Amino acid sequence: MNIGIDFGTSYSAAATFVGDELTLIHFGEARQFRTAVFFPEVVPDPNDFQLTPELDAQVEAHIRSARAQQRQFAMEAQQRGGAFVERSDSELRRDALRTVRRQWMERRAAESPTATVESFQHALFGDEAVEAYLEYGDGNLIESPKSMLGYRLDPQVRKVIVHIATHILEHIRLAASRQLGEAVRTAVIGRPVHFRSSMGEKGSEQAVEILREAAAVAGFDAVSFLEEPAAAAMHYHKRLTTRQAALIVDIGGGTTDVAFAELGGDELPRIVHTWGLAKGGTDLDINLSMHSFMPQLGNNVTRVPVHHFVEAASVHNLPKQREFRRQDYRMVDEPWQSRLRALQQPGATTRLNQTAERSKITLSAVDDTHADLGFLEPGLGVGIARADMDEAVEPFIHRMQRLLAEVREEWPGVPASVFLTGGTSRSPIVKAAVRDSFPGIPMVEGDPSLGVVSGLAVAAAEAATATV
Ligand SMILES: Nc1ncnc2c1ncn2[C@@H]1O[C@H](COP(=O)(O)OP(=O)(O)OP(=O)(O)O)[C@@H](O)[C@H]1O
Ligand SMILES: [Mg+2]
């Protein structure tokens, strides 16, 4: 049985066709789960590395052998009549330190149970993962691992990320196999047009590679990838009885993806062009947090540089989080000092981010809300009005409209409809911005959560028929 998997930044889901029936895989009672994993063991952190006498002796040994090698090279160069540029002692020392630290990390990882996939047996998923982390305040919570796949990763971190992706894909495969009553071994996995990346297109290539590796370890014999807006197009195609050009806009948690396609009728769907922006709902949470919460923690009031607050708000960026936790705020005036130090406690940035996301979601339905920040200081809270939200998310809206303007410039013709999906499309501000970008074109609202996974199920069913 071939299934479609939507490995989302915020939520993951899976679906397939049983006969003609679209069947969503259930995870407990739910049809999707928050893409978060909690595991209690500690992953080696390079910052825990300390030069013990034993490790120092290893550094010295590396320096000695590098020096001997240098002498050898210098001699050979002299014999050939060439020149050899010697490296300074401090350079040799830096290299030796780096090697010893890497070997230390590898040893720790090998000793640590988290280094093996089996050890993730105690992992928790979804909201349960977030809750366990907040309750224990220890261990590792990895939220939105998809956001990390396209970043420059050192080999050790890459290994951990592959394990996490493996675990999520295995969780999905096992749930699907149980529900469908047969072993699921193939899948079509959705991917954004551009992953969030620090290396441009290379980041997207790395992300797909990681997912491929993870899928193999998770027990899939074969997987293929389909761009998420193309998947949503496959779903919309099924709803259209007559042929038309359509624009698909999927605004998710991590990315905003667009496809221009010819859909409907008896012919096969044809994806003409896709566009992508590596920004989504998680950026809105950071925007709102910076706008409404961080002034309560001293942003723009104290001399704490603004980047500290950005680091605290960026919960999906582990190096930034670590950086924030390492700061010393004992010199900051009260009340900000205590609030900042409370925010450095385990789980507090996650809680602040959750509060930002919840406030954002509430403000999609009502005009103002009250955010409780009592976990930072008893009684602390802040009122947020729709106008604050408008102001906070302005940078995202502006960037998204720029993407949509590009789409308009590059599309081959005016589409008959704009099909809107993705969780962030629930926001009235975002929806209005999309409508303003395409005046006069009817907008069709799909299921914000299930458009992509439903289309992936269509693609999975077609691929299965094609290979029978
Ligand atoms: N009512 C709402 N108003 C505004 N945003 C919302 C609302 N409901 C959910 N969201 C946001 O939608 C996002 C999740 O959307 P979705 O499930 O489409 O993302 P995803 O598929 O996990 O991410 P991606 O496709 O980018 O990898 C989250 O940022 C969530 O906060
Ligand atoms: Mg999505």
Q: Read off the pLDDT band of 431 (50, 70, 90).
A: very high
- Record the tokens describing residue 286, joined without a space: 């950071």
pLDDT digits (tens, 9 = 90+) for 190-240: 999 999 999 999 999 999 999 999 999 999 999 999 999 999 999 999 999
* Per-residue pLDDT, 119: 47
**Does 95 or 185 have the greater pLDDT score?**
185
* Per-residue pLDDT, 117: 42
55, 126 in Cβ contact below 8 A? Answer: no
Q: Does the pLDDT value for residue 46 go beyond 80?
A: no
The finding on whether 431 has its CB within 6 A of some atom of ligand 1 is: no
- Record the tokens describing residue 300, joined without a space: 């723009």
Q: Is 27 exposed, middle or buried (0-12, 13-18, 19+ CB in 10 A)?
A: buried
* Residues near ion ligand 2 (Cβ under 5 Å): 8, 252, 452
pLDDT digits (tens, 9 = 90+) for 450-465: 999 999 999 999 987 7
Number of other CB atoms surrounding residue 303 within 10 Å? 8
pLDDT digits (tens, 9 = 90+) for 359-380: 999 999 999 999 999 999 999 9
Please report the atom of ligand 1 found closest to the CA of residue 452: 21
To test the ligand 1 pocket, which listed residue (228, 397, 424, 449) has its Cβ within 8 A of the most ligand atoms?
424
Residue type, 136: Y
Residue type, 129: A
Nearest residue (CA) to ligand 1, atom 6: 424
How much distance in Å is there from the Cα of 431 to the middle of ligand 1? 13
How much distance in Å is there from the Cα of 104 to the middle of ligand 1? 39
Note the residue count of the chain. 468
**How far is residue 304's CA from residue 125's CA, in Å, rounded to a whole number?**
35
